[in-house]
Amino acid sequence: MARTPASDDDDDGPPPAYTVQRGPRRDPRLKDLGISCMLNTEVAALLAVIRRRPDPYSYLPPAVAAAEEATFAGLIQSLKSLRALLFQPRLGAWRCSDPSTYLSPFLDVVQSEEVPPAATGVALSSVLKILRIDVFDECSPGARDAIHAILTALTNCRIERIADAGAEEAVLLRVLQVLAALLRARAAPLLSDSAVCTAVNTCFQIVQHAASSRGSELLQRTARHCMHEILQAVFARLPDIRAPPDGDGAGADGDDAALGSGAGFGARCMVDVFNFLCSLLLNATDMVMSPDGQGAFTSEEDVMLFSLVLVNTAVELGGEAIGKHPKLLRLIQDDLFYHLIHYATESSALVLSMICSTALNLYHFLRRFLKLQLEAFFMFVLLRVGGGAGGPQLQEVAIEGLISFCRQPTFVIEMYVNYDCDPLLHNVFEEVGKLLCKAAFPTSGPMSTVQLQAFEGLVNMITTIADNIEVDRAPDHSAYAIDVSEYRLFWTDRWDASAGAGHETWVDFVRRRKLRKKKVAIAANHYNRDHKKGMEFLKLCHLVPTPPDARSVAYFLRYSPGLDKVKIGEYLGDPDELNLRVLKEFTETFDFTGAILDTALRTYLETFRLPGESQKIQRVLEAFSERFYEQQTAGVFATKDAAFILCYSVIMLNTDLHNPQVKKKMTEEDFIRNNRAINDKKDLPREYLSELFHSIATNAITMFSSSAAAVEMTPSRWADLVKRSRSMEPFTTCDFRHKLSREVFIAVSGPAVATLAAIFDCADDEETLNQCVEGLVSVARIARYGLEDVLDELLCCLCKFTTLLNPYATTEETLFTFSNELKPRMATLALFTIANRFGESVRGAWKNVVDCLLKLKRLKLLPQSVIEPGGGAGERASERPGHRHRASDAAGVIFPSSHRGAGTSRHVSGMIGRFSQFLSLDSGGESLLAVGSEFENNLKIIQQCQVGSIFTESAKLPDEALHNLGRALIFAAGGKGQKFSTPIEEEDTVGFCWDLLLLVATANLHRFATFWPPLHECFNAVSQLPLFSPCPFAEKAIVALFKVAVRLIAAAPAQAPSSLPPRAVDPRVAEELVFKSINLMWKLDKEILDTCCEGISDCIVKLIGDHAGGVQTPLGWKTLLHLLTVTGRHPETFDQSVAAMVRLMSDGGPHVSRFNYAAVIEAAFGFAALKISPLEISTKILELMADSVNWLIQWHKSGYSDPGSMGFSGGPSSASAAEDAMRMGNLATSMFIKLAEALRKTSLVRREEIRNQAVAELGRAFAFAAAGDLDFGPAGCLACFNLVIFAMVDDLHEKTLEYSRRDGAERETRSMEGTLVAAAEMLADVFVLLLPTLAQAPGFRTFWLGVLRRMDTCMKCDLAAGGGAGVMQELVPRALKRMILEMKEKGVLVPRDGDELWEITHIQIQWIAPTVKDELFPE
C-alpha cells in the first residue's frame, strides 16, 4: 500500500519497498512487479495443463514410462525453478536480465515432443505475451541468443505428432502469431539474415500446410496474413540500412560485409526473400494443388495474387531505398518486370489490376532505374491490352491502370521527356494519348465503361498540362521556334549541364531532340518510298552530314521507327564502300556480351530482313560474326571464321527444321556432325551445339519478318533489353516547363480535340457534358500559347454545338432548341468564355464567333449593353453584390477583366467548376429552365457570356487577332455568309456589325495606325462580293467611321493606357487612314450622303467646333469640308453646317493653315454659291473669303511657320534662301489663285447680288494682296490673269451673250451685263495695280494682246437687242484709256527701236476704240 506523507518522514520505520507515484509517470518497479506476476501466472497455467494430462504411459514398458516421466519432471522442475526466482530481489529490472532465464522453460515445452498440444499452445501464448509487452529489447544481455532461440523453438515445434486436427490448427495459429510478433519485437533487428529467411520459410510452409485438405479457411487466411506482416516488418527496415558503396561488385561485397558484421539482418535476406517472391511468379504453375494433394494454392491466379501482394508490400515499404542496393534493384529490373509483362497479358483482370498497381508503385519509387522496363510495360501491356488485345475486361483494367499513371503529377511530362524525346525509344506518351482518345471516342449507343474511363483519363491528362503550362508573361511566337541548322549525332547525344549551360538550356536541348526525332520519322517515310529521297531529306534537315557519315546513316537505319526492313537489309548488303562502313557501324550498335549465338542472331535479325542474295547474306553474317567474336566471354570460338561458319549452319538448320517443304529434317547428330573441326580445326563443345540445336528446334529464328513492332516479349528480347538498360541514359525526373508542356499537348492535340468534340456531340448526361467542357476549356488554356490553329478548331466545334449556325433550322426551331436544351447553352457559354479569356490567340475562328453573335442578335437575345461603350463593364456593374463572386467561383467562366492575359489562370481548372451551375439563378440555385419565361432565362444566360467584353477589352488583343476580329465583322457587315429574310433585318445586322467595329476601334485608338490598314483593305474586297449591297453597308459605315474619327481626333493628345506598350506612330497617320476609309465609303454609293446627312453633319460640326485643332492632315480637312458642304445642301442640316463654316473662318481663322486653306476656300465657295443660302450668309462668306488674303500675307511674311506647316511638307534643310523664297512665292500664288478661282466661279451663279459681290470681293482680294506686299512675281501675276480674270470675263461675256439671244431674258441679260461691266472694271483696276510686276514678265506682250482682245470682244458685243443697256461701249474706251496712260506713265508703253508694243497697241486701239486714239496716240 502507499505510504502517507507523514510516514515518509518517520526515521524509525523500515524503508518502503516501493511508492506509488501520483502522476503520469509509472514507477519502473511496478512494471517489473507486473512482469513477475504475469510470468508467475503463465508458469502456473502451464504447470496446470501439464499435470492435468491422463496417464499416457500405461501401455509403455515400465522403464520407458519412467524415462518419459523423468522428462516431464524436468520440464516441471524448470518451471518451478523459474517461479521460485520471480519475486526474489534482483540487480536491475527484467529488461536488464538475460531473457533465456525466463524463456527457456517455455521454449523447452514448445520443442518437447511429449507434452500435450494444449501445453504447447499455452507455452506459445506465454512466449507471445513476453514478446508483445517487450520484456526484453535489443539492449538486453543475451537478447540475440534469446530471439534466435525463440525462432529455433518455433521451427522445431513438432506439429506432425498432433493427431487431432483442431488441436493442430490451434498450435499453428499460435506459431503464426509468435512469428509475426517475433519479427515486430524490439529485438527483431538482432536476427540474422538466415534467421529471417527461416522465419519466412516457416511461415510459407504453414501457408502450404493450410492449403491442404487439413487446413481450415481461418488458418489459411491467418497464415497469409502472417506472411504479409512478416514482410512488412522485414522491408520496413530497408530505408534504415546503410547503402553499400557504389559499383556492382562493391555493392555485392558491401552487402555481405554489412550483413556479416553482427549488426543484424540487412539487405541480403531481403534479396533472398524478394528472389523467393519472384520465383513464386515464375513457378506459379507448379505451386497449384495437384489431384494428389501436392501444392499450396488452388489456382495460378491465387499464386500470382499472393506473390504480387507481397511484392507490393515490399516495394511500398522499401521505397526509394531499394535503389540503393544493387542486388535488390537487379531483381526488379531483370526478373520482376519480366514476370509482370509476361503474366499481364495472359492472366485474369484481377491479376492485371494487381500488376498495374505494382508497376505504379515501382514507377513512384524506382523510375530512375527502370527506364526501359517501364517502356516495355507500357508498350507490351498497357497499350496493347488497352487497345483491346485481351478482351473488354482486360481492356477496362488496362485503361484504369493508364489513368492511375496519368493522375500522377509529373507522369505526363516525364513520359514525354524520357521517351517521346528520346530517339532510341518509342513515343510512349503520344501512344498513351492516342489510345485514350481512341478508347474514349464515342460510337453508336450510350458510352461504355471503358469509354467513360478513357474519357476521364483524357480530360485529366489535358487538365494537368493546362494547370502546369501557365506563365506570368507569354513569350513571343518566335520564342517557340527551334533551330536545328547544324548537324549533331543526336542518337547518342546527351545533355551535359556543364557544357550546355552557356548557350543551350535543358529545355532547348530536349525540344531539339524531339524535333529531330520528328524529322527522322518523316525521313523514314520518304526512305520507304524512295531511299534516295530519304537520304536527301536527311541531308536537308541536317540529320546526316554532307557527305553522309557512316555512323549517322547506321543509327538512322538502326533506330528509326517505321523503316521498311526489306530496304534496310538491301542497303546493308550492298558492296559499295559507304554501305560496308554503314554495315560495320550498324553491327557495332549491338551488345552481344554474354549472349549465346542464337540469342545474339535473333536480336540482330529482328532489326532488318535478311537479303535474298547469297553474297549479301555473306557480307551481313561476316559483320555479325566479327562483332560476336569480339564480344564473346566464354571463349568458345577460336577464330571469327568459326563463328561465321556456325552462323551459316544455324540459319541452314533453322530453314531445314521450320520449312514445311523440307521433308527430311536434320537431326541433332546431323547438326553436330556438320560442324566438326570448324573451330580452328577443332570441334566446338558438344553441349554448346546441342543447346543451339534445341533452341532453334523449339523457337524458330524469324529472319524474314517485316514487322516493325515486336509481337511478344520473348526471353531473348528481354535479355537484350536488360543489357541495353545498363548503358541507357537514366530516367530523368522533372517537372513541367512551359515550352515543353506546350509541345506535350501538340503531340496529342488533334485526336484530343476531335474526341472531346465528338463526346460533347453525342453525350446527353450532365456529368459527361461538364467534364467535356472542362476539357475543352483546358485545351483553350493550352492553345493560347502559339497554337492558334487548335484554338480555332475548338471554337468552330463549339459554334457548331450552339446550334445557332444550323442552316436548315428556322428561327423558331433554333430558339426552341436553345431555350429547352442544356447542350447549346453550355456550348454558347464555353464559346464566349474562351473568346473572352483567350481571344489573343483566336485567328480565323472569329468569323464563327461573329456569326453566332449575329444569330443571337436576330433571335433578340443580346442585351443593348453589348454595343454600348463599356458594355462589358456595365454588365458586371449591374450585377447584385455577391453575384460576381458566385459567378467566378461556381460558374468559373465569367472572368473578371483583370484575369485576361497570361499567367492568371493557375487555378482556372478550379474556377471552371461545373458548367451546369452557369445555368443557375442567385443563391437559390433554381434552374433557369423552370424560373421565369424562356426569353428572360435566355437573356440571363447571354448576360453571363459578357459578349461586350470581347470588343470593349479588345485593346489587349495582339495585332493579328485584332485584324481577324475586324475582318470577320467587316465581311459579316458586307453580307458574306449571311442570309437576310427582310431588308430591315439586313439593315439591323449591318448596323450591329458597325457598332461592334466602332467599339473595337474605340478600344484601340492608341494603335489605330497599325491595326486599321488591313481592315481598310477589306473594304475593297467586300465591295467585290457577289451579293454585296452598298446602301446599308456604306451608310452604316460612314456614320460609324465619323464617330471613330471624332474619338480618334479627340483622343489624339492623350497617351496610350499605361498597361499597354507605347506606339511611336505619328497620330496623323491614323487620322489619314480613317479619312481614307470615309472617302472610300461615300464613293461606293454617293446617295448615302443624302440618306445619312444628319449623322455626318453632327460629327463634322463636332469635329470642327470642338476638335478642329486636332485635325492635322490635308486629307482630313479636305474630307471634312467637302462633306460639310455636301450635307449643307439639305435644309435640315444647312444651318449647323454653315454656322460651322463661318465659325471656322472667323476670328482670324485660328484653325486654318496653308494645308487646309484650299479646302476651306472650296467649302466656302460651296456655301456661298448654294441656292438655299440666304443672301446675308453668302455675303458674309464672300467677305470672309476675301479677308482670307490677310492669312496669306501673314504666312508669307512669317515664312509659313503656321501650326499646319509641320510634318507633311517641307523641303530639305539645306535649301538655299533663294530657293525658299521662290517656293514660298509659288505657294502664295497657288493659294491666292485657289481663292480667286473660287470667287470667279461664284461670279457665275444665278443670283446677281452674289455675282457682283464675288467680283467685288475678288478685286478687294487683289487690293489686299498688293497692299500687303504679297509678291506674286511676274509669272504669278500672269497666272492670276490667265486663270482667273480672263476666264471670268470670258465666261461672263459668253453667258451674257447666251442670255441676250434668249427670248424673254432681258432681265437676266441686263443682270449679267452688269456683272460683266464690273468684271471689266476689275480687270482694268487689277491691271493698273499689278502693272509694274506684269511689265517684267517675258510674255507681257502676249498678255497685253490678251487684254486688248477681251476689250475688243466686250466693245463689239451687241447686247441692246437682248435687253442690254449698252454700257460696255462706254466702259471699254475709258478702261483702255486708263490702262494705256498708266503704261505710258510707268514707261512700259513708249516708242522704242525694236519694240513692237507701241505699234501693236496703236493699231489695236484704232480697231477697238478709235474715239480715244487721238488722245492716246497724237501724231
| Cβ(326)–Cβ(244) below 8 Å | yes
- Of 992, 971, 979, 975, the C-alpha closest to 808 is 979
**Beta bridge partner(s), residue 288:** 297
**Beta bridge partner(s), residue 297:** 288
Per 3-state DSSP, the chain is made up of helix, strand and coil in percentages (nearest 5) of: 70, 0, 30
Which ranges constitute the DSSP H helices of 632-662?
A: 640-658
At position 967, the amino acid (one-letter code) is R
| DSSP secondary structure letter of residue 420 | I
What is the C-alpha to C-alpha distance for residues 157 and 206, in angstroms, rounded to an integer? 12
**Beta bridge partner(s), residue 920:** 927
| Cβ(332)–Cβ(363) below 8 Å | no
Angle between helix 1030-1050 and helix 959-973 axes, rounded to 10 deg? 140
What is the C-alpha to C-alpha distance for residues 760 and 770, in angstroms, rounded to an integer? 9
| Cβ(771)–Cβ(455) below 8 Å | yes
C-alpha cell at 1310: 441686263
Cα distances (Å, whole numbers) of residue 1350 to 1255, 1333, 1372, 1408: 17, 21, 10, 10
What is the C-alpha to C-alpha distance for residues 309 and 469, in angstroms, rounded to an integer? 38
What is the C-alpha to C-alpha distance for residues 1262 and 1235, in angstroms, rounded to an integer? 10
C-alpha cell at 702: 524469324
- Of 536, 525, 519, 533, the C-alpha closest to 563 is 525
Q: Give yes or no: 613 in active site.
A: yes
Q: Number of C-alpha atoms within 13 angstroms, CB side, residue 940? A: 19
Tracing cell 495582339 back to the chain, one arrives at 958
The residue from 113, 320, 613, 813 that is catalytic is: 613
Angle between helix 449-469 and helix 766-783 axes, rounded to 10 deg? 30
Helices (H) and strands (E) in the chain, counts: 66, 0
| Cβ(469)–Cβ(742) below 8 Å | yes
Cα distances (Å, whole numbers) of residue 698 to 343, 388, 596, 658, 692: 21, 29, 16, 10, 10
What is the C-alpha to C-alpha distance for residues 1033 and 489, in angstroms, rounded to an integer? 61
At position 151, the amino acid (one-letter code) is L
**Beta bridge partner(s), residue 927:** 920
The helix (run of H) or strand (run of E) holding residue 259 is: helix 248-259
For 596-600, the CB contacts below 8 A with 24+ separation are 596/688, 596/691, 596/692, 596/695, 597/628, 597/643, 597/646, 597/647, 597/650, 597/692, 598/650, 598/692, 598/695, 598/696, 598/701, 599/695, 599/716, 599/719, 599/720, 600/624, 600/628
At position 272, the amino acid (one-letter code) is D
Cα distances (Å, whole numbers) of residue 1049 to 193, 444, 986, 1279: 91, 61, 31, 38
DSSP string, 77-137: HHHHHHHHHHTS--SS-GGGS-THHHHHHHHHHHH-SSS-HHHHHHHHHHHHHHHHTTSS-
**Active-site residue set:** 613
